[in-house]
Amino acid sequence: MDEKIAPHLEELTRALGDIDKTGIRAEFDKLLAFHVPPEVAKETILRKFGGKRKVLKVKDLSASLKNFEIIGRILDIGEKALRPQEGVQAGPSKLYTGVLADETGSVMFSSWKELPGSVGDVINIKNAYTRLWQNRIRLSIGEQSLVSKVSDSSIPQLSELSKTSAKKLIDIGAADFSVNTVACILRLSHREVPVRGKQSKVISGVLADETARLPFTAWVELPGIDIGSIIRIEGAQIRMFRGMPSINLISSTKVSSVGVEEAEKLAFTFESAAKDPALLKIEEIASKDSMFDVVAAGNVVSVRPGSGIISRCPECSRVVLKANCRVHGKVEGVRDMRIKAVLDDGTGAMSVMFPRELAEVIYGKTLEEAEQLMFSDISKDAVYEDLRRILTGRYLAVRGNSSNGEYGVSFVAESAWVPEDDLAVRVVELLRRLGLDEEYPGSGVSRGGISLA
């Protein structure tokens, strides 16, 4: 028997480390005890604990990742005692929480077991996972995770990591809780909102640098700062709002104007940052958790059900089905129109929502005209079918915000148009690129990789 399983054990050890110590051996034996063939048991374990594990940096973390490896320095750690519920078998009774950092950022973590290290130590976590907790990413260390202390490592020292890192806007994400950045103000507006019964002033707007734009909110006054100002922000909070990071300037945040001399050294000016955003590939949009105010273009490869004329609850604007609102029960719905379409550019696909004003433009019919069509036809899906006939295959550019969730990227369009780039110019460029082979028949490809240079 042992002879049969020995090679499998050896392979597991090679892939996963010391399997006796980590309880993997016990798990393997358990499967064998249930008469699972050793070959299958090995694969099950490899699948569970991941033979080919990805090593991630903090900045690569996104919600609901599984089975990855990460190395970081513990910045902070604390423990919480959990009282087991009555009648429930005693599970883990302590939860360890803290902050883990590497050179790319820091992330909050929670662990169900005691970690082999304290503040300042570098640890390696295998089979870690992430989840969203209070709208932000949390690194989770569970029963199946293997944690070891690393003595020698290239992770920067504690003093350096504890400083809040300066970040470009594009790198700010759900893993951040406090950031420093330099950006300019593109939009600004003042509002009064009730906070705990008191009217409070709040400033909201949009910040930009050469990499991206992000919304911000200030709960403090910003004297001398206006649209066009380039500011340095230190210790701003990151809040997640509808899947999008938003920079929150609070009383402990330091905001200062950037001087003319320093501003000249920046990679952006107000003019360059205020320009319309450049067209991105959908692949790039899909690689981020969320993006604010970006442009993409592609073909409408599908118009989704639920597009066309819909009915909304007059109280909460939720979509009403069969005159029933999820929250307010039977209501007299208000008619509205929207389009949900899949936009695909060959590098990625995303679901785009067009609200009424845009739906009317790209459909070419107003809500009233669409209603007439609905009433003049026997088919209850007349408008949806008409939309499919008009939109499927069409090429559109959209500008708006994206967020990446369980069902892929969803994009809310704020404007939409048919791009008018010159195909003839692109053809000339393509012919030039294709022509290289003819001009240099001896180079590269045609001689099987032997270069004549």
Q: Which positions from 263 to 302 touch another protein by CB under 8 A, shown as an x/- string? A: --------------------x---------------x-xx
Does 365 engage in binding with another protein (CB under 8 A)?
A: yes
C-alpha–C-alpha distance, residues 125 and 102, integer Å = 13
Directed axis angle between helix 356-363 and helix 367-376, to 10°? 70
CB 366 within 8 A of CB 358: no
CB 314 within 8 A of CB 334: yes
Exactly one of 244, 388, 399, 403 binds another protein (CB under 8 A); that residue is: 388
Identify any residues that bridge with 343 across adjacent strands, giving them in sequence order. Answer: 300, 350
Does 342 engage in binding with another protein (CB under 8 A)?
A: yes
Does 434 engage in binding with another protein (CB under 8 A)?
A: yes
Exactly one of 80, 142, 259, 395 binds another protein (CB under 8 A); that residue is: 395
Does 199 engage in binding with another protein (CB under 8 A)?
A: no
Identify any residues that bridge with 198 across adjacent strands, giving them in sequence order. Answer: 195
Residue placing its CB nearer to another protein in the complex, 207 or 282: 282
Instruction: Give the nearest distance from C-beta 167 to another protein in angstroms.
Output: 22
- Exposed e or buried b per residue across 372-409, where buried means at least 16 C-beta atoms within 10 angstroms of its C-beta: eebeeeeeeebbbebbbeebeeeebbbbbbbbbeeeeb
For strand 244-249 and strand 198-208, is the pairing parallel, antiparallel, or unpaired? unpaired
Residue placing its CB nearer to another protein in the complex, 256 or 446: 446
Instruction: Give the nearest distance from C-beta 406 to another protein in angstroms.
Output: 6
C-alpha–C-alpha distance, residues 199 and 190, integer Å = 13
Contacts of 217-226 with CB under 8 Å at 24 or more apart are 217/246, 217/247, 217/248, 217/249, 218/248, 218/249, 218/255, 219/248, 219/249, 219/250, 219/251, 220/249, 220/250, 220/251, 220/253, 220/255, 222/249, 222/255, 224/257, 225/185, 225/255, 225/257, 226/185, 226/188
Does 408 engage in binding with another protein (CB under 8 A)?
A: yes
Does 448 engage in binding with another protein (CB under 8 A)?
A: yes
Burial of 157 from C-beta contacts in 10 A (0-12 / 13-18 / 19+): exposed
Instruction: Give the nearest distance from C-beta 66 to another protein in angstroms.
Output: 10
Instruction: Give the nearest distance from C-beta 443 to another protein in angstroms.
Output: 9
Residue placing its CB nearer to another protein in the complex, 361 or 390: 390
Residue placing its CB nearer to another protein in the complex, 251 or 376: 376
Backbone angles phi, psi at 80, to 5 degrees: -120, 135
Q: Which residues contact 333 (CB under 8 A, 6 or more apart)?
A: 311, 312, 313, 314, 320, 323, 325
Does 40 engage in binding with another protein (CB under 8 A)?
A: no
Instruction: Give the nearest distance from C-beta 383 to another protein in angstroms.
Output: 10
Does 380 engage in binding with another protein (CB under 8 A)?
A: no
Does 336 engage in binding with another protein (CB under 8 A)?
A: no
Q: Which residues contact 117 (CB under 8 A, 6 or more apart)?
A: 74, 123, 149
C-alpha–C-alpha distance, residues 118 and 84, integer Å = 26
Residue placing its CB nearer to another protein in the complex, 102 or 386: 386
Exactly one of 10, 39, 79, 437 binds another protein (CB under 8 A); that residue is: 437
Q: Which positions from 301 to 320 touch another protein by CB under 8 A, shown as an x/- string? A: xx------------------
Does 37 engage in binding with another protein (CB under 8 A)?
A: no
Q: Which positions from 72 to 101 touch another protein by CB under 8 A, shown as an x/- string? A: ------------------------------
Chain residues that interact with another protein, rule: CB under 8 A:
47, 51-52, 64, 283, 299, 301-302, 342, 344-349, 364-365, 369, 372-373, 376, 378, 386, 388-390, 392-395, 406-408, 423-424, 426-427, 430-431, 433-435, 437, 444-446, 448-449, 451
